[in-house]
């Protein structure tokens, strides 16, 4: 009996709650939702398609940027690892200095002034020893000729160049610039439009 009375009380409570809710949400107070028109649904579908297209374009752009960054990094590494066997200067705009890789290590070369000398030119160079070792003597090979013109014949231009090796030019002190002078014999002004320099180290001196 007690169990039955308890069940009746629960049912009465539920009935009262449902009646109360029905009174609050009766037909007079309910607000019908606006029906979606076919036009608005079409616009929504179109917007979804545009959004998907934009997402795809953004993804493609991100992949392109990543590929370009990777290519730029690889190019930088390739250029950095290139062996600089010589330095080539245009006397009209030589720039500050260039790097030359020797068997011992890298050196810096800077082109100074060119002065007429006898039947040729006297050329001033600076060799920068960026290492901590002293080098007792070095050889320098110079290749000079007219300035190469864009679209010109490389073979003919290269054949017109002159070359001379200057031996035992002195010592290269560590962490210093060394001034040297070399002579280009039998050279006219039109034949010093391009100057290529190579350096060979002969001996090295290290402290014990």
Cα dihedral 96, 146, 183, 131 sign = positive
Query: DSSP string spanning 60-98?
Result: HHHHHHHHHHHHHHHHHHHHHHS----EEE-TTS--S-E
Domain that holds residue 195: 87-205
199 closest CA partner among 119, 178, 55: 178
pLDDT of 47: 83
The pTM score is 0.59
pLDDT of 119: 95
156: CATH? 2.60.40.1620
* 99 within a domain of the structure (yes/no): yes
Number of domains in the chain: 1
Give the count of beta carbons closer than 10 Å to the beta carbon of residue 38. 7
Asked if 191 and 164 touch (Cβ cutoff 8 Å), the reply is no
Q: Which residues of the chain have pLDDT under 50?
A: 1-8, 10-30
pLDDT of 187: 96
Q: Which residues contact 184 (CB under 8 A, 6 or more apart)?
A: 120, 121, 122, 123, 142, 144, 162, 164, 192
* 180 within a domain of the structure (yes/no): yes
* 94 within a domain of the structure (yes/no): yes
* 181 within a domain of the structure (yes/no): yes
Which tokens is 47 given?
């917007």
How far is the C-alpha of 36 from the C-alpha of 144, rounded, in Å?
83
pLDDT of 37: 55
pLDDT of 19: 46
């Amino acid at each position: 009996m007690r169990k039955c009375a308890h069940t009746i009380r629960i049912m009465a409570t539920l009935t009262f709650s449902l009646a109360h809710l029905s009174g609050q949400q009766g037909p007079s107070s309910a607000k019908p939702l606006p029906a979606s028109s076919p036009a608005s649904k079409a616009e929504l579908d179109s917007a979804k398609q545009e959004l998907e297209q934009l997402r795809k374009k953004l993804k493609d752009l991100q992949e392109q940027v990543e590929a370009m960054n990777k290519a730029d990094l690889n190019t930088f590494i390739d250029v950095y690892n290139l062996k600089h066997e010589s330095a080539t200067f245009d006397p009209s705009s030589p720039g500050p200095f260039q790097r030359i890789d020797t068997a011992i290590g890298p050196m810096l070369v800077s082109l100074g002034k060119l002065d007429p000398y006898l039947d040729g030119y006297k050329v001033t160079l600076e060799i920068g020893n960026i290492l901590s070792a002293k080098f007792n003597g070095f050889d320098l090979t110079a290749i000079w000729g007219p300035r190469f013109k864009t679209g010109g014949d490389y073979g003919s231009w290269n054949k017109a160049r002159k070359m001379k090796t200057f031996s035992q030019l002195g010592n290269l002190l560590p962490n210093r610039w060394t001034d040297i002078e070399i002579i280009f014999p039998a050279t006219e002004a039109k034949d010093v439009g391009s100057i290529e320099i190579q350096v060979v180290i002969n001996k090295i001196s290290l402290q014990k």
